[in-house]
Amino acid sequence: MRGGAFRYEFLQAYRRRSELVNPVVFFVMVCAMFPLALGSNAQLLAPLASGIVWVAAVLATILSLDQMFRQDFDDGILEQMELSEVPFYQIVAFKILAHWCLTGLPLVILSPLLAMMLYMPSESYLSLIVGLLIGTPILSLIGAIGAALTVKIRRGNIVLALLVMPLYVPILIFGSTAPLMAAEGTVPAAQLLWLGAILVLMATLAPITAALSLRANIYGS
């Protein structure tokens, strides 16, 4: 039952892949603009590379959040899901996981190529990939809470961005400093462990919080 629920959510998200491709294209374009603007200066771009990739990942994730629940909410599907045998918070968790698989995971896969384009030192690649692999699910989990709170607001992208952006700051700091430490020869264990701890916390709390927010919007006036 649970595997089928995830498969359904993944297929539903995949059918809206044109909306989910836009954040990935946006991610690539933002990273590509910096070499165009600053020139192919390795000494200038290398120290900024991890920050550029992480900021682009945060902005691309925000761009994709509004559609996480909106179409199912507008079509009344969420109300039917809330009445199904599967606990509603699990359905929300499957939606978040499907969103990350189609939005966050491609950012992780593309990050080494973009890091190479930005002249990031090779010593930093592993910490960048691991940081994004841990951090992008956190972005989706936090974003799901914001998307659930604003699902009733038409064109609520700006409100959603204002809600989640401050919560993304710690993730951005830990994620972007890890490759810098690796480039200096220091193992960024503390940064990655902090990201891991936040991931465990948000994986526990975010689906329940988002489910409660959606339920309030479904049955609220």
Q: Residue ranges per domain, the chain?
A: 2-219
Residue 2 has a pLDDT of: 53
Query: Does the pLDDT of residue 179 top 90, yes or no?
Result: yes
Summarize the confidence of residues 35-50 as an average pLDDT. Answer: 86
Contact 48, 110 (CB under 8 A): no
Q: pLDDT tens for residues 58-70?
A: 999 998 888 888 8
CA distances, 59 to each of 29, 31, 41, 213 (Å):
12, 11, 25, 23
DSSP state of 221: -
Counts of helices then strands in the chain (DSSP H, E): 11, 0
- The pLDDT mean for the chain works out to 88
Work out the burial of residue 13: count CB atoms within 10 Å of its CB; fewer than 13 is exposed, 13-18 middle, 19 or more buried.
buried
The pLDDT of residue 13: 64
pTM listed for this prediction: 0.90
The answer to whether 147 and 62 are in contact (CB under 8 A) is no
Q: How far apart are CA 141 and CA 37, in angstroms?
A: 33
CA distance 98 to 104: 10
Average pLDDT over residues 173-199: 93
What does the pLDDT read at residue 132?
Answer: 96
Q: Say yes or no to pLDDT of 159 above 70.
A: yes
Q: Which pLDDT score is estimated for 14?
A: 65
What's the rounded Cα separation, in Å, for the pair 144 and 69?
8
